Amino acid sequence: MESPSKRKGSVTFDLPPPQEEEELLSPCTHTIDIHAQSVPDTMLVALFDRDREIKELVEHNKSFFLSLKSFLNDKWPRFENTLYVPRSQMSDIEWITRISKALKPVPPLLEKFKELVGYLGEDDSQGKYEEEEEEGQPKVELARIRDRLDRLSREAYPQFYINCEQAMSKNEYDAFIHTLFHTAEIDDATWEKKIREQLKPWQNILEQLEEIVAYEIDE
């Protein structure tokens, strides 16, 4: 096992604090030079610095994102985790696909979100990606987190454990926690198989765990 490394900060679940609105600047009368930037083929939203600019969008569209938070309810932390992930860790097509899945039940909110981020893709290409993802995208290898289980602490991801407690009986929850943290004697393949079997009735919780592990093992 690797020696424990200093954990990085987990993704925040809080909306950015309110900021005072700035007055619009008066139109300039002098000439302004505009320098165009080339857009990569993989870029599907009009945000060059996606994780920074999405925070600015949240700040300036608070009522809309509060509506999203209200609709998503206990799924909001997971959604927010996806929302702020850097492009270097998640491509635009995967990013918009995950967000589209979360907002699929409310098309008006999804369309408004796409409008805000300047979505440049087409819905049929997104559907194509979803089919490919369902057919054969490799799962996150949960066992890769075993040498740094301290990163899965309740302090780091309180909402995940709350979701587990709400979905499972006490015995099911205790058994899951025991497998997760107290079974160093079994090999990685057996450990991962057992975790997946225990979470089989709660696919949403398994997906949350996969996202957490994917985030934590990405150095």
Residue tagged 């079974």 (tokens)? 183
Mean pLDDT per 10-residue interval, the chain, length 219 residues:
54 52 43 46 76 89 89 86 86 87 86 87 52 53 91 88 92 94 91 93 88 80
pLDDT of residue 193: 93
Q: Which residues of 184-211 are buried (b: 16+ CB within 10 A; e: fewer)?
A: eeeeeeebbebbeebbeebeebbebbbb
pLDDT of residue 121: 73
Amino acid found at 203 = Q
pLDDT of residue 136: 45
Amino acid found at 197 = E
pLDDT of residue 123: 56
Domain spans of the chain? Answer: 50-136, 142-217
pLDDT of residue 25: 40
pTM exceeds cut of 0.85: no
pLDDT of residue 142: 92
